[in-house]
Structure 1
């Protein structure tokens, strides 16, 4: 059991959820407000994606990131900013026997350095690296992260002094994390997010979760989350396994059956679960110390 736990709130994500929740943060102002709301509810870290304000679809527009970060930094609420670096790795193949040409409407594939433009400019304390290529049960869509791309991104993030949060979806991703540690691409403490219950990744049952935990690199600081209705039960699972937790509308839209949530409500529920288990919730300042972050 982890009795000193920090909470990450992933406030919006990039999935096709804008039409499923009328309160999903979409504009930069809404995303920044959601991060502040979660921080006031007890989240030490706000994990940020941005969306096209007109369509609600996920975006990697640096100007949108800039506005979100500036709004959060201008607020009077302390929170660690964690920007995704996962956008720009989307490939959608053509259907059936015609995989090429790629589906231009769904494909957004750029080089590793272009995927980090917002990180280079805004210098968040943390940014994410998805540690492998994944299918998400979405027909011909592939989230693409080759070893070469990830090594390039890890080296640049290390140069910038930003802490990478390594998003791990399966056991093979942990093998790659250990290779990057071996090759000097990751500084201590290594920060890992176990992403459980994602289609075609590691399932979120207790045995699989603990198998992942037992394969973590020595000394790693880890968090864990699951998606959908298992998000809140997994708060307890992650803490019992010795980790920290993540909640938020990126991964789950509901507080209970038929009850749409806000990021603040999900964070408050996580605080209730953890404190009910006897854990103390860490502040942003304590997380900076634990993770050796460079506050901007």
Structure 2
């Protein structure tokens, strides 16, 4: 059991969800406002993607990240900034017997350092590293993160003094995390996010989650979440298993059946669950101390 928990709010993500809920933030102004709303509701960390304001689709444009980060840093509400570095690894194969050439619609595959361009420019306190390649959606899409790409990214993030949040979608990803540790590419404290219930990664049943927790590196600080209707039950599950919590519209659009959520309402519900368990909620400065983060901006 973790009696001192921090809450991360993943405010928008990159999925095609903006047309499914009017509460999903799209423009930099809306995304920054969502991060601030989450912080006011009790989130210590805001996990941030950006979207193309014209299409609503996920983007890795450093200027969009810059506007969001500057708005959040200028606000009178403190929150730890966690930027995704997951964009730029999207591969969509051609259909059937013609996998090549790649489908240009949706394929966005760039080098590992280009995927960190916004991190290098803005120096957030945290950025994510997706710790493996996997079939992420139906069809011909592959989320691509080769070992050499990830080693290059981990090394550069380490040089920048940014704390990597290691996104673990299945047990093999933890094997790779341990390789990075043994190679000196990760500094303590190790920060891990256990991402459950994502096709086709680890299912979000309690036994699988506990098995991943049991396989964590010694003294790692971890969070856990699931998607959809299991997001809120995993608030309690993560704390019970010794971890921290993530909620937000990246992973779930509903507060209850038929009731669309906002980022603020999801954080408020998580806070209610945790306070009902007599858990202390950590604020941004307490998280910075726990994770040895470097605050900038």
Superposed pair shares fold, TM > 0.5: yes
Quick one: distance in 2 between partners of 1:154 and 1:67?
A: 25
CA offset at residue 105 of structure 1?
A: 1.2
| TM-score normalised over the length of structure 1 | 1.00
Q: Which runs of 4+ in 1 moved over 6 A?
A: none
Residue matched to 1:37? 37
**1:192, 1:62 → 2: CA distance?**
25
Q: With the length of structure 2 as denominator, give the TM-score of the two structures.
A: 0.99
> Distance in 2 between the 1:161 and 1:24 partners?
31
For residues 128 and 106 of structure 1, what CA distance do their matches in structure 2 show? 21
Q: Distance in 2 between matches of 1:257 and 1:9?
A: 21
Name the count of aligned residue pairs.
296
Alignment correspondent of 1:85: 85
- Indicate the SS of the match to 1:167: strand
* Superposed CA offset, 1:30-67 (max 9, x none): 00000000000000000000000000000000000000
For 1:170, the equivalent position in structure 2 comes to 170
Tell me, yes or no, if structure 1 residue 265 matches structure 2 residue 265: yes
| CA shift for structure 1 position 138 | 2.1
Matched, 1:119 2:106: no
The gaps in structure 1 that reach 5 residues or longer are none
Measure the CA separation in 1 of the matches of 2:285 and 2:62. 27
CA RMSD, aligned part only?
0.4
How big is the shift at 1:134? 1.2
Q: Distance in 1 between matches of 2:73 and 2:240?
A: 33
Structure 2: unaligned runs, 5 residues or longer: none
Shift of 1:137: 3.0
SS of the residue aligned with 1:135?
coil
Partner of 1:250: 250
Aligned mates of 1:137, 1:50 — CA distance in 2 = 20
Task: For 2:223 and 2:136, locate their aligned partners in 1 and report how far apart those are by CA, in whole Å.
Answer: 21
Correspondence for 2:284: 284
